[in-house]
Amino acid sequence: MKHLHLLFIALSLISFLGRVALTKFRPEMMQIKWVNIAPHAINGVVILTGISLVFQGHWLEGEFGWIVAKIIALLGYVAFGIMALKLTDEKRWYAFGGALLLFAYIAKVAVTKSLF
């Protein structure tokens, strides 16, 4: 399950980077239906496999503040991601940077199981 989760995390990041590039360089491609639907399906699998890993690893039985931190950071990542896709000019790149920083924080918390 862990490898499936990691695979879909990589696909999620690739799809985010690709969609940001499309909004900048080929915005007409963002009108293609599968370009907008595929990331939702990928992110749905990420969330489902993440939930299954939490229960499979019995992580709710001990200290689980790191899981809450990941969920909050994930919400921020989604918010910044939406802004990066919707905004223009310099604001887009600030949102893009914020999303990438939160993605890195989520990865760090996942590896270390620590908030800081």
Per-residue pLDDT of 56-88, as tens digits, reads 988 888 888 999 999 999 999 999 999 999 998
Average pLDDT of the chain? 94
Which ranges constitute the DSSP H helices of the chain? 2-25, 33-56, 65-86, 89-112
Domain boundaries along the sequence of the chain: 2-112
Contact in structure between 21 and 51 (CB atoms under 8 Å): no
How confident is the model over 40-60, as a mean pLDDT? 91
* Terminal alpha carbon distance of the chain: 26
Residue 30: the pLDDT is 94
How confident is the model over 18-45, as a mean pLDDT? 95
Residue 38: the pLDDT is 95
**Nearest CA among 7, 104, 46 for reference residue 96:** 104
Residue 97: the pLDDT is 98
Query: What is the reported pTM?
Result: 0.90
Residue 5: the pLDDT is 96
